[in-house]
Structure 1
Amino acid sequence: MSPAEPLIQLRGITKTYGSGTAAFLALKGIDLDIAAGEFVAVMGPSGSGKSTVMNLIGCLDTPTSGEYRFSDVPVHSLNRDQRALLRRRHLGFVFQGFNLLARTSAQENVELPLLYRGLGRAERHAAARAALAEVGLAGWEHHGPAELSGGQQQRVAIARAIVSRPTVLLADEPTGNLDSARGIEIMELLTRLNTEQGITVLMVTHEPEMAAFARRIVRFRDGRVESDQRQAAHAEPPLETGHAPAITPSAQEA
């Protein structure tokens, strides 16, 4: 990928659910570029297409038509195993509901992505402890979700998302289940990950006060991009934006 090319590039993306008279066109020809190191908030009313486009970018779904390129790799042409490999290597996910395993410690929850990668026990332990320390939870490694506040649970979820050092962090309403104070703490954490580590952050939110932490707001309506605006950030931008490593996923590596 040349320096001028975006990390994420969508061209003419459509997504149709159902068929015949029951068909619903969720995305109606989306064009969107996201550069490495950006912090982008995606907003829009229910049914606007914002979650659909996030699922496509996250390789959790495929477009009906159009082109999706990640680091100049044609994701729309990859098979299921190749998309899974790209997802494991380059994408981290944070959800509104935390999605932690209830009877598992914070450290064990964070280790899960590394277990799927086949890393050894000692390496998993060390990486998970380091990730928990990065989100301010050093010393909480052996606490289960029931022993943690909502804000702490979301920090564990973020640690799990970054433990594999993703290129992009996809956050779907990450503060939706938190009060305002805890929500701001999570947004400050995401901002630090973006500015200090260069992780590209793409966040769906309906809360303007949380979107204000992003440096760019893309608004969706009726399956189309309604507006795309840049804004001043809460924190100083990084000296160097994140870069996209070369990827050539193959089914054999999955």
Structure 2
Amino acid sequence: MSDAHAPLIRLRGITKTYGQGQAAFQALKGVDLDIEAGDFVAIMGPSGSGKSTAMNTLGCLDVPTSGDYLFRGIAVQKLTRDQRARLRRKCLGFVFQGFNLLARTSAQENVELPLLYRGEPAAARHTQARAALAAVGLAGWEHHTPAELSGGQQQRVAIARALVTNPEVLLADEPTGNLDSQRGREIMELLTRLNVEQNITVIMVTHEPDMAAYAKRIVRFVDGRVDSDQRSAPAAATREEVA
């Protein structure tokens, strides 16, 4: 039975080693991290700091070499590959720097993909995809292909695709990395709104301090360990107070 007061996500002593013998590389060296439901966490750090490995671990895309990963009290590292895949499909949504949209497929069809994999009937897929696109400000753009959309709009489609399954956690890996500063701010404001209004937990890897400033909390990785963990006033809230 899980502790009702436990955080949504708890990492304890997480290590990850790639390779063996003299070629072994330890990407994570004993990471402890708690993330509460409804939090917005930016993960930062230089190249090779372990932030991407930590994100892959949190997203159940990779398993730690040692340590404990609890998601709602479930020991993730003890799950089978199929059980981890079910956890991903049910609870996690992913947004990547490169959008990863199907080029010759409409925005609505791109958003429907996770529902197609779940075996949802067509009518339900259409309704949920349209609602997800509306939630990210793209009502009326359902039948446009990626080539007919701006970079910011493509990333909104990618976010809608991540949201269409109603995940508890949205994992965003450099979501503004391919966007100009204005489109980047728009995406961050969207993620902030989803976090505040829908209470979706957002975990974002970024190397951009101005994007990390939108988060409620900034966790910095250095050499495979958590170097600092600080709460901050999100940038969007600060701007509203000034206004």
Provide the C-alpha distance between the structure 2 equivalents of 1:169 and 1:2, rounded to a whole number of angstroms: 23
Percent identical residues: 77
- Classify the secondary structure of the residue corresponding to 1:170: strand
- The aligned residue for residue 179 of structure 1 is 180
- The aligned residue for residue 241 of structure 2 is none
Provide the C-alpha distance between the structure 2 equivalents of 1:126 and 1:172, rounded to a whole number of angstroms: 27
- The aligned residue for residue 161 of structure 2 is 160
- The aligned residue for residue 226 of structure 1 is 227
Provide the C-alpha distance between the structure 2 equivalents of 1:172 and 1:51, rounded to a whole number of angstroms: 8
- The aligned residue for residue 252 of structure 1 is none
Moved over 6 A (4+): none
Q: Which amino acid aligns with 2:159?
A: I
- The aligned residue for residue 71 of structure 2 is 70
Provide the C-alpha distance between the structure 1 equivalents of 2:204 and 2:61, rounded to a whole number of angstroms: 16
Provide the C-alpha distance between the structure 2 equivalents of 1:159 and 1:12, rounded to a whole number of angstroms: 34
Provide the C-alpha distance between the structure 2 equivalents of 1:112 and 1:221, rounded to a whole number of angstroms: 36
1:1-254 residue pairs with structure 2 within 5 A?
A: 1-235=2-236
Distance 1:209 1:235, change over 3 A: closer
Cα RMSD (Å): 0.8
Provide the C-alpha distance between the structure 1 equivalents of 2:152 and 2:3, rounded to a whole number of angstroms: 39
Provide the C-alpha distance between the structure 2 equivalents of 1:62 and 1:93, rounded to a whole number of angstroms: 17
- Classify the secondary structure of the residue corresponding to 2:26: strand
TM-score using structure 1 length:
0.92
Provide the C-alpha distance between the structure 1 equivalents of 2:138 and 2:236, rounded to a whole number of angstroms: 22
Provide the C-alpha distance between the structure 2 equivalents of 1:143 and 1:62, rounded to a whole number of angstroms: 38
- Where in structure 2 are there 5+ consecutive unaligned residues? 238-243
Q: Which amino acid aligns with 2:209?
A: P
TM-score using structure 2 length:
0.96
Provide the C-alpha distance between the structure 1 equivalents of 2:26 and 2:51, rounded to a whole number of angstroms: 13
Provide the C-alpha distance between the structure 1 equivalents of 2:29 and 2:214, rounded to a whole number of angstroms: 28
- Classify the secondary structure of the residue corresponding to 2:16: strand
Shift of 1:4: 2.0
Provide the C-alpha distance between the structure 1 equivalents of 2:118 and 2:187, rounded to a whole number of angstroms: 27
Provide the C-alpha distance between the structure 2 equivalents of 1:18 and 1:76, rounded to a whole number of angstroms: 19
Shift of 1:235: 4.7
Offset from partner CA, 1:8-60 (integer Å, 9 cap, x none): 00010000001111000000000000000000000000000000000001010
- Where in structure 1 are there 5+ consecutive unaligned residues? 237-254
Shift of 1:196: 0.1
Q: Which amino acid aligns with 1:103?
A: R
Shift of 1:233: 2.1
Shift of 1:155: 0.1
Offset from partner CA, 1:173-216 (integer Å, 9 cap, x none): 00000000000000000000000000000000000000000000
Provide the C-alpha distance between the structure 1 equivalents of 2:114 and 2:186, rounded to a whole number of angstroms: 24
Provide the C-alpha distance between the structure 2 equivalents of 1:103 and 1:61, rounded to a whole number of angstroms: 30
Offset from partner CA, 1:97-123 (integer Å, 9 cap, x none): 000011110000000010111100000
Provide the C-alpha distance between the structure 1 equivalents of 2:174 and 2:236, rounded to a whole number of angstroms: 21
Provide the C-alpha distance between the structure 2 equivalents of 1:178 and 1:69, rounded to a whole number of angstroms: 34
